[in-house]
Structure 1
């Protein structure tokens, strides 16, 4: 299809017109080059839609791309929840355990941006746990995305969009 939709004689016409003015048969060569360009434009250009149908070439199906992205995001979230929230050995960076209420809150709200903590007096210790837990989930999602990328399970465009979503989510969560 790429060859069929090529330049169609433009180079030939440009080469013919670049001939010196006193070149023998220059005007006839320019006319022939023009006719060749015109015929290929009409014949090849006119039959290009037919060739595309015969070859069965299709463009990007946006609905299918959205479904694939949704499937990948759901897979990443499941992997993150399985690796982090469902892990009985889950510990904070300091070795302590996460509060059960924080685990449930993050489990319910995971995938949506969590609200930032309001400034004030002494912060609730559970509030300090949320960003740490969400960071662990984000890391697990990134690991799952890297694995999907290495397996070739998804289209590269879908992987790139999922990476953008993960990056945007980590930037939003950075202000927790």
Structure 2
């Protein structure tokens, strides 16, 4: 379908994204997400995804509201997740009971919100990109499309020579599909 197009042709370089340090506190992370979202919604910024960098200024992940909520409960990061049952669980209560049994999760993470906001750092709850979240800059868009569909990701990290150099968003690949249908298929 899009064999001639490479990921690098549609990726957004890391320099185009707002960033936050992995040493930032939980509170600073919440404030950064709000600021970056507001800038995006007002048209002052082109990207709303917030990237996280380490002390060497290397990109180590992206920060999302879901990550922040996971930061309220550090046990989530230690929980062995069986995606085969979690995606098909009949009820929320079933999933929560199983999670609490496995990791003794806090029963009331919001009660300690102020302490968490001061003491917890982004690196304590950030999920590092897995192999499933990575594509190479010279991969075809077909490879990215397969990863999007199979992994249900909204974006993928793009690597070049082992370094994170950008993100390709699902919306960018979908736009290529639309253009291909309109311009090549002439439908």
TM-score, normalization: structure 2? Answer: 0.24
The structure with the greater share of residues assigned to helix is 1
Higher relative contact order (CA 8 A, sep 6+): 2
> Which is higher, the Rg of structure 1 or of structure 2?
1
Q: Larger % of strand: which?
A: 2
Under a length normalisation based on structure 1, what TM-score does the superposition of the two structures give? Answer: 0.25
